Amino acid sequence: MEIARRELFFRSLGMAVCGGLSALGSEQEKKDSMKTEAEPFFKLYPVGRVEKKDSQVRLRIFEKYVDALTGLDGFSHVLVFYWFDRNDTPQKRSILQVYPRGNRQNPLTGVFACRSPVRPNLIALSLCKILAVKSPLVHIDKIDAFDRSPVLDLKPYIPAIDRQTKDLWFPDWLGG
């Protein structure tokens, strides 16, 4: 009996910490929820914003993160992780299959197998050519993001790590 009570206490504590279940309706739902572990959640904090004005594209890094730009100017390209913030609705997060590129002639495909902007977590990735780094700005050639999209992270493109040239294959809908 003591072990069961202890287990129930720690599960309840874990669920409260990881998002809470206080909004559950019936007692049966509460009992059923105790049978499964709560899914963890994570907080992401933007490090900057995308700025698009005229033909210029740049990443404005927030002041508290500018020291993280040190040395980035030694690279030709950067991987930019950003958030599809304008797609962030429960309905769009629940879409798990799409027609790639919005083309209904392509097969229905899981969002993990394409670059759809609707997905469970709206993390986007673009490889961008660095034109200049002038703190707090990173000038880039282009990015598939809207103006003011939140930037989550930057990572330098390192060919030895990031480029794969052997054993590649693609689905037919991608065209090769």
Per-residue pLDDT of the chain (176 residues; tens, 9 = 90+): 344 444 443 444 343 333 333 333 445 444 444 455 678 888 999 999 999 999 999 999 999 999 999 999 999 999 999 999 998 999 999 999 999 989 999 999 999 999 898 999 999 999 999 999 999 999 999 999 999 999 999 999 999 999 888 888 889 888 85
Considering the domain architecture, whether residues 144 and 58 belong to the same structural domain is answered as yes
Contact 125, 79 (CB under 8 A): yes
Considering the domain architecture, whether residues 87 and 116 belong to the same structural domain is answered as yes
Question: Which is nearest to 115 in space by CA: 128, 126, 104, 129?
Answer: 126
Residue type at 61 in one-letter notation: I
Considering the domain architecture, whether residues 17 and 66 belong to the same structural domain is answered as no
Task: Give domain status of residue 169, yes or no.
Answer: no
Considering the domain architecture, whether residues 78 and 141 belong to the same structural domain is answered as yes
Place of tokens 């009996």: 1
Considering the domain architecture, whether residues 67 and 152 belong to the same structural domain is answered as yes
Q: Output the CA angle 102-46-23, nearest 5 degrees.
A: 80
| Rounded Cα distance, 46 and 35, in Å | 35
| Rounded Cα distance, 118 and 96, in Å | 8
Number of domains in the chain: 2
Considering the domain architecture, whether residues 66 and 147 belong to the same structural domain is answered as yes
Range of 132's domain? 48-158
